[in-house]
Chain A
Amino acid sequence: MLRIENHPILGEIQKGRLVRFTFDGKELTGYEGEPIAAALKAAGVMVHRYTTKRHEPRGVFCAIGRCTDCVMCVNGKINVRTCVTPLEEGMDVRTQYGVSRQKPE
């Protein structure tokens, strides 16, 4: 389990409502308002996208919206910085391939 239930200093972590969303079509749950990247990390998802030329995997790197390594296709829109974009109910989150939502043949 990657979620911290009880923290020695912060106590219980305050979270929003538990909501459903999909990752590459698979249903997952996360807390409303937390970054999409946090919900994915808690669900064990490591790869957010593959690079254009060498098809290398990328994931969360800076977690503060600076490096753009964690961008994904969210609700049909590409290049969404998942580490600073709040999770909403029913979001369609997909692995990004290069700058496309389509997996190359």
Chain B
Amino acid sequence: MKRYDMIIVGAGPAGLSAAVEAAKHGMCVAVFDENAKPGGQLFKQIHKFFGSKEHQAKVRGFRIGEALLKQANELGVEVLLNAVVTGIYADKEVIVRHNDTVRHVKGDTILVATGASENMIAFPGWTLPGVMGAGAAQTMINLHGVLPGKRVLMVGSGNVGLVVSYQLMQCGCELVGIVDVAKKIGGYGVHAAKIARCGVPFYMGHTIVRAEGTDHVTGVVIGEVDEAYQCISGTEKQLDVDTVCIAVGLSPMSQLLDMAGCQMQTVSAKGGTVPVCNADGETSVEGLYVAGDVSGIEEASSAMIEGRIAAISAARKLGYLGEAPASEEISKLQASLEALRQGMFAPGNRGKIIEQTEEGIRISNSLLTKGYLEEQEIERFPGFHTQKGIHPVIECTQNIPCNPCQDVCPRHCIMVGDNITALPVVDENSACSGCGLCVASCSGQAIFLVNDSYDQTHASVTIPYEFLPLPAVGTIGVALDRSGNPVCEAEVLSVKANPAFDKTNLLTMKVPKEMSQKARFFAVKSSEQKG
């Protein structure tokens, strides 16, 4: 039986990061993945990640995946694909089914990084073709380049629902709305805001009553819910859609660990049944580690750190790394992980109602219920100020661990500070040159450049723009406000692309002066944005 220092189950962000780290320390590693391609869900993540530089903030997920794979290849990590681990037995014996053969291998340590699966909700019509997981839709568009349908309803307003909604719009689907039984949007406000300003309605406190159609979805009925989450009769509304995407959370895929005899626990904040583990990710079975979503639903950024911690801990256990250097490395990584677990959306805050930011500023209720900030609310946040000439307006109003805006500004106009969940502050007398790096670097697309004195009667507003086709300079269209309503005529002054912007184009439009704090999106024709 072939023996490895570490057997890794799952070649996603956690598993690959662990493999790279273990290989760096000279360990002999095998990675098994049931899929035909490595990377887990990373290659579907085409949005920019949050965090700070050490967490690869402002880098798109699939690029992180490419870099990780390259590193793994350079270190000679062996990834066996189409390889299903069917069981982990006593003395860390692992059974792998590969094509039509079954292999037995043994690991001195094992890391299970199997990720998560999507939760579902059942409603009349939920089995009809056209109803699918949000992850399924994301797979179809971002991996296979095929639209799941043309008119989509998203069920679920958490980050998966919001991110996939935006990605569906980016490739040409019409998003008819986002439905959630919760009264408040679950994901980041900035993710909601970039959808709302395209005119997509949020149906909060609503449920999906049924999907209609005989052979596939031809429509859907939604309705408002009462306190018991039952549809209130008379509130039903019919929507014309061909696709319904379900994004109602993820559950850890921890079955292998349960089978291996790990002590398990069900923790709602972790998304379901997970193994009990220590800070290194080691379970109650010595030498059997977990990392990533299988140990509790979080982000890919934290999964990558957890994978590295587990690998270092295993290297120490097997004598590849001394006690002192291993402990030092682990505490550095744990500090980095801790930084990601701060702020309003921290795992510990799940389900809590937060009314104020860390700075003591009242959270926008409109943002939580409709997906956008009311104009008069912006002023109470530190990213807003007015000054002569061009300057950034930062509509970042929730404490999320993220600071690329501070890092990229060549003139140091933006301050987040050492506490990376703090809201960015724009310097009163910013020497903004209008370079736009902050606009493109903001993973939440919440930064705009405003120049109130473009000319006597007009202001210019620069917005991040990630749609095709790019409007030509000189195009006359309409400016939309934060809710997606057309507010005035707008002329495209410039559309800037730059490798440093990484596909976030900067569209600058000319609008009447009094519209500079209203205009936040551009549409060629208003009828194309409102469905």
Contact = CB atoms under 8 A, between A and B. Distances in A.
Interface of A: 2-4, 6-10, 13, 15, 34-35, 38, 41-42, 46-48, 56-66, 69, 83-84, 86
B147 interface: yes
B129 A48 contact: yes
B130 A9 contact: no
B139 interface: yes
A58 B144 contact: no
Contacts of B60: 9
Given A64-B136, A66-B117, A4 B467 contact: no
Given A7-B170, A46-B215, A62 B145 contact: no
Contacts of B145: 3-4, 7, 10, 13, 15, 38
Most central of B35, B128, B140 by chain A CB within 10 Å:
B140
A7 B143 CA distance: 12
Contacts of B141: 4
Given A7-B145, A38-B144, 7 more contacts: A7-B171, A8-B170, A35-B144, A46-B130, A58-B129, A61-B136, A84-B35
Contacts of A3: 145-147
Contacts of A57: 128-129, 214-216
A15 B143 CA distance: 10
Interface string B164-190: 000000111000000000000000000
Contact of B127 (A46, A58, A66): A58
Interface in B51-85: 60, 62
20 contacts: A3-B145, A4-B146, A4-B171, A8-B503, A10-B46, A10-B62, A38-B145, A38-B146, A41-B146, A41-B148, A46-B129, A46-B216, A47-B216, A48-B129, A60-B148, A62-B118, A62-B132, A64-B135, A83-B136, A86-B36
Contacts of B140: 38, 41, 60, 63
B466 interface: yes
Nearest to B36: A84
B466 A60 contact: no
Contact of B215 (A42, A47, A60): A47
Contacts of A58: 127, 129
User: Does more than half of chain A's interface fall in helix, strand or loop, or is it mixed?
Assistant: loop
Interface string B194-215: 0000000000000000000011
B170 A9 contact: yes
B133 interface: yes
B503 A65 contact: no
A13 B144 CA distance: 8
Interface of B: 34-36, 46, 60, 62, 117-118, 127-133, 135-137, 139-142, 144-150, 170-172, 214-216, 466-468, 503
A75 to B, nearest CB: 16
B466 A9 contact: yes
Contact of A65 (B35, B46, B170): B35
Given A6-B468, A41-B140, A63 B135 contact: yes
Contacts of A9: 46, 60, 170, 466, 503
Contacts of A6: 468
A44 to B, nearest CB: 10
B215 A4 contact: no
Contact of A63 (B128, B132, B215): B132
A6 B172 CA distance: 10
- Which 4 interchain pairs have the tightest Cβ spacing? A59-B129, A13-B145, A63-B136, A38-B144
Contact of A8 (B118, B135, B137, B467): B467
A7 B170 CA distance: 8
B115 to A, nearest CB: 10
Most central of B46, B62, B128, B149 by chain A CB within 10 Å:
B128
A61 B35 contact: no
B146 A61 contact: no
B135 A42 contact: no
Given A4-B172, A47-B215, A42 B35 contact: no
B142 A61 contact: no
Contacts of B466: 8-9
A42 B216 contact: no
B318 to A, nearest CB: 33
A59 B244 CA distance: 13
A89 to B, nearest CB: 18
Contacts of B148: 41, 60
A65 B253 CA distance: 14
Contacts of B142: 10
Contacts of B128: 57, 59
Contacts of A4: 141, 145-147, 171-172
Nearest to B505: A8
A41 B150 CA distance: 12
A2 B148 CA distance: 8
Contacts of B34: 65
A10 B140 CA distance: 13
Contacts of A46: 129-130, 215-216
Contacts of B36: 84, 86
Most central of A4, A46, A48 by chain B CB within 10 Å:
A4
A83 B214 CA distance: 22
Contacts of A35: 144
Nearest to A35: B144
Contacts of B144: 13, 34-35, 38
Contacts of B137: 63
Contacts of A41: 140, 146-148
B52 to A, nearest CB: 22
Contacts of A69: 127
A60 B136 contact: yes
Contacts of A59: 128-130, 132, 216
Nearest to A49: B129
